[in-house]
Amino acid sequence: MISELIINAFLVTIMLAIGIALLKTRTVIFTVVLTSAYSLIAALMFITLDAVDVAFTEASVGAGISTILFLAAMAYLPKEEEENLNSQILPAISCMVLGGILIWCSYDLPEIGLLSSPIHQHIVPDYILGSRDDIGIPNIVTSVLASYRGYDTFGETIVVFTAGVAVLVLLKNNTNVSKQKNKKSNGKIG
């Protein structure tokens, strides 16, 4: 039982290493690949933390689709990031202070994996029994997602649809504007 927590701690340390590499790198392709690796290791961690559905989704959507989106966007963007070290001191200090406060507060959080921690006490037994008796789907996550919280999932679909429409509108305007700009510049030259 403790071995899975040790694997877990090892994986999360790899994620920290990837995060530090992301802070250092200035090349866009490295950034994209590191983000993909980060999501993939997060998916592995979800498996060790018993969240198999989340791991599946993270590996396909987080590591797959968002990497494709980043690569597609990368083709039209500058390949290197400009260096400017002057203005980073204040954000760095504020992040360090906030991180210190969060780590200080982490002593009040319940230890990982205790059955007696408050999150496991409240309504979860009802959901587990209800999934077996009322809904009859063996996968509890599915029964909560599609039945108990069905409206929420519907709202999520609407959010994704809205984002898709917004992306289409933005990219369509993009081509129009560039054409207009070309016309204007051609006119000036002429």
CB of 189 to another protein, least distance (A): 18
Nearer to another protein, 53 or 184 (CB): 53
7 phi, psi to nearest 5 deg: -55, -45
Give the list of residues 6+ apart from residue 59 with CB closer than 8 angstroms, or none: 39, 40, 43
Nearer to another protein, 16 or 189 (CB): 16
Q: Which of 33, 37, 44, 145 binds another protein (CB under 8 A)?
A: 145
Residues making up the chain, counted from first to last:
190
Map the footprint of another protein across residues 23-82, applying CB under 8 A: 23, 28, 31-32, 35, 38-39, 42, 45-46, 49-54, 57-58, 61-62, 65-66, 69-70, 73-74, 76-78, 81-82
Beta-bridge partner residues of 27: 80
CB of 132 to another protein, least distance (A): 6
Enter the tokens of residue 89: 């001191």
Q: Per rule CB under 8 A, is residue 186 in the interface with another protein? A: no
**Sign of the four-CA dihedral 161, 162, 167, 173:** positive
What gap in Å lies between CA 39 and CA 60, rounded to an integer?
Answer: 10
Task: Give the largest Cα separation in the chain, rounded.
Answer: 78
Q: Per rule CB under 8 A, is residue 147 in the interface with another protein? A: no
Map the footprint of another protein across residues 88-117, applying CB under 8 A: 88, 91-92, 94-96, 98-99, 102-103, 106-107, 109, 111-115, 117
User: Can you tell me which residue has the tokens 């999150």?
Assistant: 119
Which string of b and e fits 95-112 if b means at least 16 CB within 10 Å?
eeeeeeeeeeeeeeeeee
How many residues belong to the site for another protein (CB under 8 A)? 95
Q: Per rule CB under 8 A, is residue 159 in the interface with another protein? A: yes
Rg (CA), the chain: 23
Nearer to another protein, 1 or 189 (CB): 1
Q: Which of 33, 37, 44, 127 binds another protein (CB under 8 A)?
A: 127
Nearer to another protein, 166 or 183 (CB): 166
Q: Which of 29, 134, 150, 152 binds another protein (CB under 8 A)?
A: 152
